[in-house]
Amino acid sequence: MIKLLIVMFLCGISVALNDDQSDPVVCYSMGCVRGKNYVGNIKPYEGFFGIPYVKQPVGDLRLKDPQPITEKFTEIYNATEEKMFCAQKNYLLPNPSVIGVEDCLYLYVYRPKNWQRKNKKPLPILIYIHGGAFFAGIAGPSVTGGDYIMDTEDVIFVTMSYRLGPLGFLSTGDENISGNFGLKDQAMAIKWVKDNIYAFGGDPNNIALMGQSAGAASVHLHMMSPWSCRNFHKAIILSGNGIAPYAYVLKDPFQQARKYAIASGMKLTSEMTKQDLANYLRNVDTKTLLDATDSFKIWSIDPLVISRPVVEDCSKVHGFLCEDPVKMWRNGIHSHIPLITGYMDGDGGVRSLQYFENQELLEELNNNLDGLMPKLLEIVDPLSENVTTNRWKQVKDRYFNGQNKLEPNQWKNLMKLYTDRSFVTPMADTLLQLVKSESKSPAYLYKFNFRGPLSNSILYTGTTKDFGTVHSDELIYLLKSPLLFPQQYDANSREGIFRSRFVKFFTYFAINGKPPKANNKTLHRCIKNEAFAVGTRQLKCSYIDFDEKISIKAEGAIDNDAVDFWNQIDTTLVK
Protein backbone atom coordinates (compact mmCIF):
# COMPACT_ATOMS: atom_id res chain seq x y z
CA MET A 1 0.00 0.00 0.00
CA ILE A 2 2.79 2.41 0.96
CA LYS A 3 4.81 1.57 -2.14
CA LEU A 4 1.74 2.05 -4.30
CA LEU A 5 1.07 5.39 -2.64
CA ILE A 6 4.60 6.69 -3.24
CA VAL A 7 4.84 5.35 -6.81
CA MET A 8 1.49 6.85 -7.80
CA PHE A 9 2.41 10.17 -6.24
CA LEU A 10 5.84 10.41 -7.86
CA CYS A 11 4.49 9.34 -11.24
CA GLY A 12 1.72 11.92 -11.07
CA ILE A 13 -1.81 10.63 -10.49
CA SER A 14 -4.19 11.57 -13.25
CA VAL A 15 -7.10 12.94 -11.27
CA ALA A 16 -8.62 14.83 -14.22
CA LEU A 17 -8.06 15.56 -17.88
CA ASN A 18 -6.56 18.88 -18.87
CA ASP A 19 -8.62 20.58 -21.57
CA ASP A 20 -7.25 22.78 -24.34
CA GLN A 21 -8.21 26.14 -22.84
CA SER A 22 -5.60 28.50 -21.42
CA ASP A 23 -4.62 27.97 -17.81
CA PRO A 24 -6.39 30.23 -15.30
CA VAL A 25 -4.29 32.82 -13.46
CA VAL A 26 -5.35 34.57 -10.26
CA CYS A 27 -3.53 37.47 -8.61
CA TYR A 28 -3.86 38.23 -4.90
CA SER A 29 -1.86 40.04 -2.22
CA MET A 30 1.25 37.85 -2.51
CA GLY A 31 1.37 37.75 -6.32
CA CYS A 32 -0.12 35.62 -9.08
CA VAL A 33 -0.73 31.87 -9.24
CA ARG A 34 -1.37 29.73 -12.29
CA GLY A 35 -3.89 26.92 -12.02
CA LYS A 36 -5.10 24.32 -14.45
CA ASN A 37 -8.33 23.44 -16.26
CA TYR A 38 -9.83 20.08 -15.41
CA VAL A 39 -12.60 17.91 -16.77
CA GLY A 40 -14.00 16.69 -13.47
CA ASN A 41 -16.56 14.03 -12.66
CA ILE A 42 -19.28 15.75 -14.69
CA LYS A 43 -18.57 19.49 -14.78
CA PRO A 44 -15.31 21.27 -15.67
CA TYR A 45 -13.46 23.17 -12.99
CA GLU A 46 -10.26 25.09 -12.33
CA GLY A 47 -7.76 23.78 -9.80
CA PHE A 48 -5.06 25.77 -8.04
CA PHE A 49 -3.05 23.03 -6.39
CA GLY A 50 -0.18 23.49 -3.95
CA ILE A 51 -0.39 27.15 -2.91
CA PRO A 52 1.87 27.91 0.09
CA TYR A 53 -0.11 29.58 2.87
CA VAL A 54 2.62 30.00 5.52
CA LYS A 55 6.39 29.64 5.65
CA GLN A 56 7.44 26.00 5.57
CA PRO A 57 8.06 24.60 9.10
CA VAL A 58 11.62 23.43 8.56
CA GLY A 59 14.94 24.26 10.21
CA ASP A 60 14.48 26.83 12.97
CA LEU A 61 10.72 26.91 12.30
CA ARG A 62 10.18 23.26 13.23
CA LEU A 63 7.97 22.85 16.31
CA LYS A 64 7.09 26.54 16.26
CA ASP A 65 3.92 28.46 15.48
CA PRO A 66 3.29 28.86 11.74
CA GLN A 67 4.72 32.08 10.34
CA PRO A 68 3.07 34.22 7.65
CA ILE A 69 4.77 34.50 4.27
CA THR A 70 6.32 37.95 3.88
CA GLU A 71 8.03 37.71 0.49
CA LYS A 72 5.81 38.09 -2.56
CA PHE A 73 6.13 35.88 -5.63
CA THR A 74 8.64 37.34 -8.10
CA GLU A 75 6.95 35.50 -10.99
CA ILE A 76 3.72 33.62 -11.58
CA TYR A 77 3.62 30.73 -9.12
CA ASN A 78 2.96 27.31 -10.62
CA ALA A 79 -0.06 25.90 -8.75
CA THR A 80 -0.77 23.00 -11.11
CA GLU A 81 0.69 20.02 -9.26
CA GLU A 82 -0.14 18.15 -6.07
CA LYS A 83 2.55 18.60 -3.43
CA MET A 84 4.02 15.81 -1.34
CA PHE A 85 1.99 15.29 1.82
CA CYS A 86 3.12 16.03 5.36
CA ALA A 87 5.56 13.64 7.07
CA GLN A 88 3.65 10.88 8.82
CA LYS A 89 3.66 7.32 10.04
CA ASN A 90 0.22 5.94 9.25
CA TYR A 91 -0.44 3.18 11.75
CA LEU A 92 -3.66 2.24 9.99
CA LEU A 93 -1.65 0.90 7.03
CA PRO A 94 -0.05 -2.56 7.11
CA ASN A 95 3.64 -2.43 8.08
CA PRO A 96 3.58 1.36 8.63
CA SER A 97 6.70 3.35 7.82
CA VAL A 98 7.59 7.04 7.70
CA ILE A 99 6.55 8.76 4.46
CA GLY A 100 6.06 12.38 3.38
CA VAL A 101 8.06 15.55 3.97
CA GLU A 102 8.13 18.48 6.40
CA ASP A 103 7.98 21.05 3.58
CA CYS A 104 4.28 20.42 3.20
CA LEU A 105 2.07 23.37 4.18
CA TYR A 106 0.10 23.97 0.99
CA LEU A 107 -3.55 24.34 0.16
CA TYR A 108 -5.75 23.37 -2.77
CA VAL A 109 -8.43 25.60 -4.30
CA TYR A 110 -11.17 24.26 -6.60
CA ARG A 111 -13.31 26.71 -8.56
CA PRO A 112 -16.19 25.90 -10.94
CA LYS A 113 -15.16 26.59 -14.53
CA ASN A 114 -18.30 28.57 -15.34
CA TRP A 115 -18.50 30.46 -12.06
CA GLN A 116 -18.50 33.91 -13.68
CA ARG A 117 -21.24 33.14 -16.18
CA LYS A 118 -23.46 31.45 -13.59
CA ASN A 119 -22.96 33.85 -10.71
CA LYS A 120 -23.02 37.63 -10.57
CA LYS A 121 -21.79 37.65 -6.98
CA PRO A 122 -18.91 35.88 -5.17
CA LEU A 123 -19.32 32.17 -4.46
CA PRO A 124 -19.68 30.75 -0.94
CA ILE A 125 -16.67 28.83 0.41
CA LEU A 126 -16.44 25.27 1.71
CA ILE A 127 -13.17 24.50 3.51
CA TYR A 128 -12.44 20.84 4.29
CA ILE A 129 -10.04 19.49 6.95
CA HIS A 130 -8.94 15.90 6.39
CA GLY A 131 -8.98 13.25 9.11
CA GLY A 132 -6.35 10.72 10.10
CA ALA A 133 -6.32 10.67 13.92
CA PHE A 134 -3.92 13.66 13.99
CA PHE A 135 -1.06 11.46 12.71
CA ALA A 136 -1.93 10.80 9.05
CA GLY A 137 -3.86 12.08 6.05
CA ILE A 138 -3.53 13.67 2.61
CA ALA A 139 -5.18 16.92 1.51
CA GLY A 140 -4.37 16.74 -2.20
CA PRO A 141 -6.59 15.47 -5.04
CA SER A 142 -5.12 11.96 -4.90
CA VAL A 143 -7.19 11.33 -1.74
CA THR A 144 -9.26 14.45 -1.03
CA GLY A 145 -10.44 15.50 -4.48
CA GLY A 146 -13.20 18.07 -4.92
CA ASP A 147 -14.59 16.78 -8.24
CA TYR A 148 -18.00 15.78 -6.85
CA ILE A 149 -18.37 19.11 -5.07
CA MET A 150 -17.47 20.93 -8.28
CA ASP A 151 -20.34 19.13 -10.02
CA THR A 152 -22.74 21.34 -8.06
CA GLU A 153 -21.06 24.56 -9.28
CA ASP A 154 -22.31 26.04 -5.99
CA VAL A 155 -19.14 26.73 -4.01
CA ILE A 156 -15.39 27.23 -4.08
CA PHE A 157 -13.78 24.25 -2.32
CA VAL A 158 -10.52 24.44 -0.34
CA THR A 159 -8.40 21.80 1.42
CA MET A 160 -5.13 22.17 3.30
CA SER A 161 -2.23 20.07 4.56
CA TYR A 162 -1.21 20.51 8.18
CA ARG A 163 1.52 19.13 10.43
CA LEU A 164 0.86 15.68 11.87
CA GLY A 165 2.02 13.43 14.70
CA PRO A 166 4.77 14.77 16.96
CA LEU A 167 5.72 17.39 14.36
CA GLY A 168 2.24 18.84 14.70
CA PHE A 169 1.48 18.32 18.39
CA LEU A 170 4.59 17.97 20.56
CA SER A 171 4.74 20.39 23.48
CA THR A 172 7.00 21.10 26.44
CA GLY A 173 4.05 22.71 28.20
CA ASP A 174 5.51 26.21 27.93
CA GLU A 175 6.72 28.74 25.38
CA ASN A 176 9.71 26.61 24.29
CA ILE A 177 7.41 24.27 22.33
CA SER A 178 3.90 25.60 22.80
CA GLY A 179 2.12 22.80 20.88
CA ASN A 180 -1.06 22.56 18.77
CA PHE A 181 0.94 23.33 15.63
CA GLY A 182 -1.23 21.21 13.34
CA LEU A 183 -4.32 23.06 14.54
CA LYS A 184 -2.55 26.40 14.20
CA ASP A 185 -1.59 25.47 10.62
CA GLN A 186 -5.27 24.85 9.89
CA ALA A 187 -6.16 28.20 11.46
CA MET A 188 -3.64 29.98 9.25
CA ALA A 189 -5.11 28.27 6.18
CA ILE A 190 -8.59 29.41 7.21
CA LYS A 191 -7.18 32.94 7.66
CA TRP A 192 -5.57 32.75 4.21
CA VAL A 193 -8.97 31.91 2.73
CA LYS A 194 -10.62 34.74 4.65
CA ASP A 195 -8.01 37.22 3.41
CA ASN A 196 -7.49 36.08 -0.18
CA ILE A 197 -10.43 34.07 -1.51
CA TYR A 198 -12.16 37.13 -2.95
CA ALA A 199 -9.49 37.23 -5.66
CA PHE A 200 -10.60 33.71 -6.66
CA GLY A 201 -14.24 34.79 -6.88
CA GLY A 202 -15.14 33.69 -3.36
CA ASP A 203 -17.15 35.35 -0.61
CA PRO A 204 -15.03 35.79 2.56
CA ASN A 205 -18.22 36.47 4.51
CA ASN A 206 -19.77 33.11 3.71
CA ILE A 207 -17.33 30.39 4.76
CA ALA A 208 -18.33 26.91 5.94
CA LEU A 209 -15.77 24.73 7.71
CA MET A 210 -16.15 20.97 7.26
CA GLY A 211 -14.09 18.09 8.62
CA GLN A 212 -14.29 14.34 9.12
CA SER A 213 -12.90 12.23 11.98
CA ALA A 214 -9.87 14.13 13.38
CA GLY A 215 -10.79 16.84 10.87
CA ALA A 216 -14.24 16.98 12.48
CA ALA A 217 -12.63 17.28 15.92
CA SER A 218 -10.53 20.09 14.47
CA VAL A 219 -13.61 21.96 13.21
CA HIS A 220 -15.12 21.65 16.67
CA LEU A 221 -11.94 23.00 18.28
CA HIS A 222 -11.78 25.90 15.82
CA MET A 223 -15.20 26.93 17.10
CA MET A 224 -13.54 27.43 20.52
CA SER A 225 -10.16 28.87 19.50
CA PRO A 226 -9.31 32.58 19.45
CA TRP A 227 -7.15 31.82 16.40
CA SER A 228 -10.06 30.99 14.15
CA CYS A 229 -13.52 31.14 15.74
CA ARG A 230 -14.44 34.39 13.94
CA ASN A 231 -13.16 33.37 10.52
CA PHE A 232 -15.93 30.99 9.43
CA HIS A 233 -19.69 31.03 9.56
CA LYS A 234 -20.99 27.43 9.56
CA ALA A 235 -19.66 24.13 10.89
CA ILE A 236 -20.07 20.66 9.39
CA ILE A 237 -18.77 17.94 11.73
CA LEU A 238 -18.68 14.42 10.25
CA SER A 239 -18.01 11.40 12.49
CA GLY A 240 -15.77 13.14 14.97
CA ASN A 241 -15.74 15.56 17.87
CA GLY A 242 -13.39 17.90 19.70
CA ILE A 243 -14.47 16.62 23.12
CA ALA A 244 -14.24 12.92 22.24
CA PRO A 245 -11.87 10.68 24.27
CA TYR A 246 -9.32 10.50 21.44
CA ALA A 247 -9.14 14.33 21.44
CA TYR A 248 -8.82 14.81 25.22
CA VAL A 249 -6.00 17.25 25.88
CA LEU A 250 -2.70 15.87 27.12
CA LYS A 251 -2.41 16.18 30.89
CA ASP A 252 1.40 16.26 30.94
CA PRO A 253 2.80 17.26 27.54
CA PHE A 254 6.27 17.82 28.99
CA GLN A 255 6.59 14.18 30.03
CA GLN A 256 5.49 13.11 26.56
CA ALA A 257 8.14 15.37 25.01
CA ARG A 258 10.77 13.86 27.32
CA LYS A 259 9.76 10.37 26.28
CA TYR A 260 9.96 11.33 22.60
CA ALA A 261 13.45 12.72 23.18
CA ILE A 262 14.61 9.58 25.00
CA ALA A 263 13.14 7.31 22.32
CA SER A 264 14.91 9.45 19.71
CA GLY A 265 18.28 8.90 21.38
CA MET A 266 18.69 11.85 23.75
CA LYS A 267 20.53 11.19 27.01
CA LEU A 268 18.60 13.22 29.55
CA THR A 269 20.34 14.61 32.63
CA SER A 270 19.03 16.48 35.65
CA GLU A 271 20.68 19.70 34.44
CA MET A 272 18.82 19.78 31.13
CA THR A 273 16.20 22.50 30.74
CA LYS A 274 13.04 22.61 28.66
CA GLN A 275 14.93 24.81 26.22
CA ASP A 276 17.61 22.12 25.85
CA LEU A 277 14.88 19.59 25.18
CA ALA A 278 13.27 21.86 22.59
CA ASN A 279 16.59 22.43 20.81
CA TYR A 280 17.20 18.69 20.63
CA LEU A 281 13.74 17.87 19.28
CA ARG A 282 14.03 20.57 16.60
CA ASN A 283 17.10 18.84 15.22
CA VAL A 284 16.15 15.16 15.40
CA ASP A 285 15.95 13.35 12.07
CA THR A 286 12.36 13.25 10.79
CA LYS A 287 12.20 9.48 10.58
CA THR A 288 13.74 9.03 14.03
CA LEU A 289 11.23 11.41 15.61
CA LEU A 290 8.18 9.83 13.97
CA ASP A 291 9.41 6.30 14.69
CA ALA A 292 9.70 7.29 18.36
CA THR A 293 5.89 7.15 18.48
CA ASP A 294 6.30 3.35 18.60
CA SER A 295 7.51 3.67 22.19
CA PHE A 296 4.03 4.83 23.27
CA LYS A 297 2.22 1.76 21.95
CA ILE A 298 1.15 -0.70 24.63
CA TRP A 299 -0.33 -3.33 22.29
CA SER A 300 -0.52 -3.61 18.50
CA ILE A 301 -0.95 0.00 17.28
CA ASP A 302 -2.81 1.13 20.41
CA PRO A 303 -3.28 3.66 21.85
CA LEU A 304 -4.00 4.89 18.35
CA VAL A 305 -3.96 8.65 19.01
CA ILE A 306 -0.75 9.73 20.74
CA SER A 307 -0.39 13.26 19.34
CA ARG A 308 -3.14 15.45 20.79
CA PRO A 309 -4.13 19.02 21.57
CA VAL A 310 -2.79 20.74 24.68
CA VAL A 311 -3.97 23.63 26.82
CA GLU A 312 -1.56 26.54 26.47
CA ASP A 313 -0.71 29.30 28.92
CA CYS A 314 -2.21 32.17 26.97
CA SER A 315 -0.62 34.74 29.27
CA LYS A 316 2.76 33.77 27.80
CA VAL A 317 1.98 32.50 24.27
CA HIS A 318 -0.57 33.14 21.55
CA GLY A 319 -2.40 29.97 22.43
CA PHE A 320 -4.77 28.04 20.22
CA LEU A 321 -6.54 26.58 23.27
CA CYS A 322 -6.48 28.57 26.49
CA GLU A 323 -8.63 26.13 28.46
CA ASP A 324 -9.76 22.51 28.30
CA PRO A 325 -12.20 22.29 25.36
CA VAL A 326 -14.64 20.22 27.44
CA LYS A 327 -14.98 23.13 29.88
CA MET A 328 -15.03 25.73 27.13
CA TRP A 329 -17.89 24.01 25.32
CA ARG A 330 -19.81 23.45 28.53
CA ASN A 331 -19.46 27.15 29.41
CA GLY A 332 -20.49 28.41 25.99
CA ILE A 333 -17.03 29.71 25.06
CA HIS A 334 -17.33 29.10 21.32
CA SER A 335 -18.64 30.69 18.15
CA HIS A 336 -22.41 30.72 17.81
CA ILE A 337 -22.96 29.50 14.27
CA PRO A 338 -25.13 26.92 12.49
CA LEU A 339 -23.82 23.39 12.98
CA ILE A 340 -24.66 19.98 11.58
CA THR A 341 -23.12 16.80 12.91
CA GLY A 342 -23.66 13.06 12.68
CA TYR A 343 -22.24 9.58 12.58
CA MET A 344 -22.76 6.01 11.37
CA ASP A 345 -23.30 2.78 13.28
CA GLY A 346 -19.95 1.39 12.13
CA ASP A 347 -17.74 4.35 13.08
CA GLY A 348 -16.20 2.16 15.77
CA GLY A 349 -15.09 -0.30 13.12
CA VAL A 350 -11.98 1.77 12.49
CA ARG A 351 -10.44 -0.07 15.47
CA SER A 352 -12.69 -3.00 16.37
CA LEU A 353 -12.87 -4.82 13.05
CA GLN A 354 -9.15 -5.42 12.79
CA TYR A 355 -9.20 -7.42 16.02
CA PHE A 356 -11.73 -9.92 14.69
CA GLU A 357 -10.16 -10.35 11.26
CA ASN A 358 -6.75 -11.14 12.72
CA GLN A 359 -6.80 -14.33 14.78
CA GLU A 360 -3.43 -13.59 16.37
CA LEU A 361 -4.57 -10.13 17.52
CA LEU A 362 -7.82 -11.49 18.90
CA GLU A 363 -5.99 -14.16 20.86
CA GLU A 364 -3.53 -11.61 22.27
CA LEU A 365 -6.39 -9.33 23.27
CA ASN A 366 -8.30 -12.15 24.96
CA ASN A 367 -5.20 -13.17 26.90
CA ASN A 368 -5.15 -9.73 28.57
CA LEU A 369 -8.68 -8.45 28.03
CA ASP A 370 -9.13 -6.95 31.51
CA GLY A 371 -5.75 -5.24 31.39
CA LEU A 372 -5.95 -3.83 27.85
CA MET A 373 -9.54 -2.86 27.10
CA PRO A 374 -9.93 -0.19 29.83
CA LYS A 375 -6.87 1.51 28.35
CA LEU A 376 -7.93 1.10 24.72
CA LEU A 377 -11.29 2.66 25.61
CA GLU A 378 -9.55 5.36 27.67
CA ILE A 379 -11.58 4.58 30.75
CA VAL A 380 -8.19 5.11 32.39
CA ASP A 381 -5.03 6.81 31.15
CA PRO A 382 -3.78 4.49 28.35
CA LEU A 383 -0.18 4.90 29.51
CA SER A 384 -0.97 4.38 33.19
CA GLU A 385 -0.48 1.17 35.11
CA ASN A 386 -3.76 1.66 36.93
CA VAL A 387 -6.87 -0.21 35.81
CA THR A 388 -10.32 0.50 37.21
CA THR A 389 -11.83 -2.98 37.15
CA ASN A 390 -15.28 -1.96 38.37
CA ARG A 391 -15.97 0.35 35.43
CA TRP A 392 -14.66 -2.18 32.95
CA LYS A 393 -16.87 -4.84 34.54
CA GLN A 394 -19.89 -2.63 33.85
CA VAL A 395 -18.82 -2.30 30.22
CA LYS A 396 -18.39 -6.08 29.89
CA ASP A 397 -21.79 -6.68 31.44
CA ARG A 398 -23.47 -4.26 29.03
CA TYR A 399 -21.81 -5.26 25.75
CA PHE A 400 -20.59 -8.87 26.29
CA ASN A 401 -22.92 -10.30 28.96
CA GLY A 402 -20.03 -10.29 31.41
CA GLN A 403 -17.86 -12.65 29.33
CA ASN A 404 -14.10 -12.59 29.84
CA LYS A 405 -13.39 -13.55 26.25
CA LEU A 406 -14.43 -11.97 22.95
CA GLU A 407 -15.88 -14.48 20.52
CA PRO A 408 -15.57 -14.02 16.73
CA ASN A 409 -19.33 -13.54 16.39
CA GLN A 410 -19.24 -10.53 18.75
CA TRP A 411 -17.70 -8.09 16.27
CA LYS A 412 -20.95 -6.08 16.17
CA ASN A 413 -20.92 -5.74 19.95
CA LEU A 414 -17.38 -4.38 20.01
CA MET A 415 -18.03 -2.07 17.06
CA LYS A 416 -21.08 -0.64 18.85
CA LEU A 417 -19.05 -0.25 22.04
CA TYR A 418 -16.41 1.83 20.23
CA THR A 419 -19.08 3.79 18.34
CA ASP A 420 -21.01 4.59 21.51
CA ARG A 421 -17.88 5.52 23.45
CA SER A 422 -15.94 7.56 20.92
CA PHE A 423 -18.57 8.98 18.57
CA VAL A 424 -22.18 8.95 19.76
CA THR A 425 -21.64 10.04 23.37
CA PRO A 426 -19.47 13.13 22.71
CA MET A 427 -21.71 14.08 19.78
CA ALA A 428 -24.85 13.86 21.92
CA ASP A 429 -23.23 15.80 24.77
CA THR A 430 -22.12 18.48 22.33
CA LEU A 431 -25.66 18.92 21.04
CA LEU A 432 -27.12 18.75 24.54
CA GLN A 433 -24.89 21.55 25.83
CA LEU A 434 -25.98 23.69 22.89
CA VAL A 435 -29.71 23.28 23.43
CA LYS A 436 -29.41 23.62 27.22
CA SER A 437 -27.25 26.74 27.29
CA GLU A 438 -28.44 28.97 24.46
CA SER A 439 -30.46 29.17 21.30
CA LYS A 440 -28.16 31.24 19.09
CA SER A 441 -26.64 28.24 17.34
CA PRO A 442 -29.06 26.11 15.32
CA ALA A 443 -27.81 22.54 15.44
CA TYR A 444 -28.88 19.67 13.19
CA LEU A 445 -28.30 15.92 13.26
CA TYR A 446 -27.78 13.25 10.61
CA LYS A 447 -27.07 9.54 10.46
CA PHE A 448 -25.36 7.83 7.53
CA ASN A 449 -26.71 4.41 6.51
CA PHE A 450 -25.98 4.09 2.79
CA ARG A 451 -23.94 1.04 1.83
CA GLY A 452 -22.50 0.50 -1.64
CA PRO A 453 -20.01 -2.03 -3.06
CA LEU A 454 -17.05 0.03 -1.82
CA SER A 455 -16.28 0.38 1.87
CA ASN A 456 -13.36 1.38 4.07
CA SER A 457 -13.80 -1.94 5.85
CA ILE A 458 -11.77 -3.36 2.96
CA LEU A 459 -8.86 -1.17 4.08
CA TYR A 460 -9.36 -1.95 7.79
CA THR A 461 -9.63 -5.73 7.43
CA GLY A 462 -8.24 -6.73 4.03
CA THR A 463 -11.51 -8.56 3.32
CA THR A 464 -14.63 -7.80 1.28
CA LYS A 465 -17.05 -8.92 4.00
CA ASP A 466 -20.10 -6.72 4.54
CA PHE A 467 -19.78 -4.96 7.90
CA GLY A 468 -22.36 -2.31 7.07
CA THR A 469 -21.33 1.35 6.90
CA VAL A 470 -18.04 1.93 8.71
CA HIS A 471 -15.89 4.92 9.59
CA SER A 472 -15.08 7.14 6.58
CA ASP A 473 -17.56 5.45 4.22
CA GLU A 474 -19.40 8.75 3.75
CA LEU A 475 -16.25 10.17 2.14
CA ILE A 476 -16.62 7.75 -0.77
CA TYR A 477 -19.63 9.85 -1.82
CA LEU A 478 -18.26 13.25 -0.84
CA LEU A 479 -14.67 13.30 -2.10
CA LYS A 480 -12.95 11.75 -5.08
CA SER A 481 -10.10 9.52 -3.93
CA PRO A 482 -8.36 7.80 -6.86
CA LEU A 483 -5.54 6.55 -4.65
CA LEU A 484 -7.83 4.64 -2.26
CA PHE A 485 -10.79 3.91 -4.53
CA PRO A 486 -9.84 4.17 -8.22
CA GLN A 487 -13.25 2.79 -9.21
CA GLN A 488 -15.70 5.40 -10.41
CA TYR A 489 -19.47 5.12 -9.96
CA ASP A 490 -21.44 6.05 -13.05
CA ALA A 491 -23.52 9.19 -12.53
CA ASN A 492 -26.74 7.29 -13.31
CA SER A 493 -26.00 4.32 -11.05
CA ARG A 494 -27.64 3.84 -7.67
CA GLU A 495 -24.47 5.06 -5.99
CA GLY A 496 -23.99 7.94 -8.43
CA ILE A 497 -27.51 9.24 -7.85
CA PHE A 498 -27.05 9.02 -4.07
CA ARG A 499 -23.68 10.77 -4.32
CA SER A 500 -25.18 13.70 -6.21
CA ARG A 501 -27.93 14.19 -3.63
CA PHE A 502 -25.54 13.69 -0.70
CA VAL A 503 -23.07 16.31 -1.92
CA LYS A 504 -25.84 18.75 -2.77
CA PHE A 505 -27.15 18.47 0.78
CA PHE A 506 -23.89 19.73 2.24
CA THR A 507 -23.22 22.46 -0.30
CA TYR A 508 -26.75 23.74 0.39
CA PHE A 509 -25.97 23.80 4.13
CA ALA A 510 -22.63 25.49 3.46
CA ILE A 511 -24.40 28.25 1.55
CA ASN A 512 -27.52 28.72 3.67
CA GLY A 513 -26.67 27.53 7.17
CA LYS A 514 -29.64 25.16 7.21
CA PRO A 515 -30.39 21.81 5.56
CA PRO A 516 -32.46 21.52 2.39
CA LYS A 517 -35.81 19.79 2.46
CA ALA A 518 -35.91 16.03 1.95
CA ASN A 519 -39.00 14.61 0.25
CA ASN A 520 -40.71 17.97 0.91
CA LYS A 521 -40.06 17.64 4.65
CA THR A 522 -38.05 20.12 6.72
CA LEU A 523 -35.30 18.95 9.06
CA HIS A 524 -35.82 20.88 12.29
CA ARG A 525 -33.03 21.97 14.59
CA CYS A 526 -32.34 20.11 17.82
CA ILE A 527 -34.21 21.53 20.82
CA LYS A 528 -34.48 20.99 24.55
CA ASN A 529 -36.98 18.33 25.50
CA GLU A 530 -38.85 19.85 28.43
CA ALA A 531 -40.32 16.45 29.38
CA PHE A 532 -37.01 15.34 30.90
CA ALA A 533 -34.88 16.92 33.59
CA VAL A 534 -31.61 14.97 33.31
CA GLY A 535 -29.57 12.99 30.80
CA THR A 536 -29.47 13.15 27.04
CA ARG A 537 -33.22 12.62 26.87
CA GLN A 538 -33.27 16.38 27.35
CA LEU A 539 -32.10 16.51 23.74
CA LYS A 540 -34.83 16.29 21.11
CA CYS A 541 -33.63 15.89 17.53
CA SER A 542 -35.24 14.79 14.34
CA TYR A 543 -32.53 13.74 11.91
CA ILE A 544 -31.70 13.32 8.26
CA ASP A 545 -31.24 9.64 7.50
CA PHE A 546 -28.74 9.24 4.68
CA ASP A 547 -30.15 5.96 3.45
CA GLU A 548 -30.96 5.30 -0.19
CA LYS A 549 -34.04 7.54 0.01
CA ILE A 550 -32.44 10.31 2.13
CA SER A 551 -35.38 10.82 4.45
CA ILE A 552 -36.18 12.77 7.61
CA LYS A 553 -37.05 10.79 10.73
CA ALA A 554 -38.59 12.07 13.93
CA GLU A 555 -36.27 10.38 16.44
CA GLY A 556 -34.07 7.38 17.10
CA ALA A 557 -30.63 8.49 15.91
CA ILE A 558 -29.19 8.60 19.45
CA ASP A 559 -29.13 5.66 21.84
CA ASN A 560 -29.82 7.62 25.03
CA ASP A 561 -29.30 4.60 27.26
CA ALA A 562 -25.81 4.12 25.84
CA VAL A 563 -24.93 7.81 26.17
CA ASP A 564 -26.12 7.95 29.78
CA PHE A 565 -24.19 4.76 30.51
CA TRP A 566 -20.93 6.19 29.17
CA ASN A 567 -21.41 9.46 30.99
CA GLN A 568 -21.55 7.44 34.21
CA ILE A 569 -18.43 5.50 33.28
CA ASP A 570 -16.48 8.63 32.24
CA THR A 571 -17.69 11.79 33.98
CA THR A 572 -15.43 14.08 31.92
CA LEU A 573 -18.25 15.37 29.74
CA VAL A 574 -20.82 15.92 32.50
CA LYS A 575 -20.77 18.19 35.52
Share of the chain above pLDDT 70, in %: 94
DSSP notation for 399-458: HHTT-SS--GGGHHHHHHHHHIIIIIHHHHHHHHHHHHH-SSS-EEEEEE----S--THH
Integer Cα distance of 560 and 363 in angstroms? 33
Q: How confident is the model at residue 119 (pLDDT cuts 50, 70, 90)?
A: low
Query: What angle, 0 to 180 degrees and rounded to 10, lies between the N-to-C axes of helices 181-196 and 214-222?
Result: 70
CA 123 vs CA 49, 206, 214, 437: distances in Å: 19, 8, 27, 33
The yes-or-no verdict on residue 20 having pLDDT over 50 is: no
- d(CA 186, CA 140) in angstroms, rounded, equals 15
DSSP assignment string, 154-193: S-EEEEE----HHHHH---SSTTS---HHHHHHHHHHHHH
| Residue 341: HSE in the Cβ half-sphere, 13 Å Cα cutoff | 32
**pLDDT tens figures, 299-342:** 999 999 999 999 999 999 999 999 999 999 999 999 999 999 99
Q: How far is CA 518 from CA 276, 501, 511, 549, 556, in A?
A: 59, 10, 17, 9, 18
Which residue would you say has higher pLDDT here, 119 or 281?
Answer: 281
Cα–Cα distance, 422 to 344 (Å, whole number) = 12
| pLDDT > 90 fraction of the chain, expressed in percent and rounded | 80
Q: Is the pLDDT of residue 551 over 50?
A: yes
Kindly state the average pLDDT of the residues 12-38. Answer: 76
The β-bridge relationship of strands 543-546 and 539-540 is unpaired
Q: pLDDT band for position 381 (50/70/90)?
A: low
How far does CA 142 lie from the centroid of its chain?
17
pLDDT (tens digit, 9 = 90+) per residue, 330-359? Answer: 999 999 999 999 999 999 999 999 888 889
Q: What is the pLDDT of residues 207-264, one digit of tens each?
A: 999 999 999 999 999 999 999 999 999 999 999 999 999 999 999 999 999 999 999 9
Q: Residue 492 contacts by C-beta under 8 Å, 6 or more apart in sequence?
A: none
Half-sphere exposure (Cβ direction) of 247: Cα atoms closer than 13 Å: 31
SS3 7: helix
pLDDT mean across residues, the chain: 92
Domain boundaries, the chain: 2-334
CATH 3.40.50.1820 holds for 2-334: yes
Q: How far apart are CA 339 and CA 210, in angstroms?
A: 10
Residue 157 CB burial class (10 angstroms; 0-12, 13-18, ≥19)? buried
Among 354, 350, 357, 355, smallest CA distance to 368 is for: 355
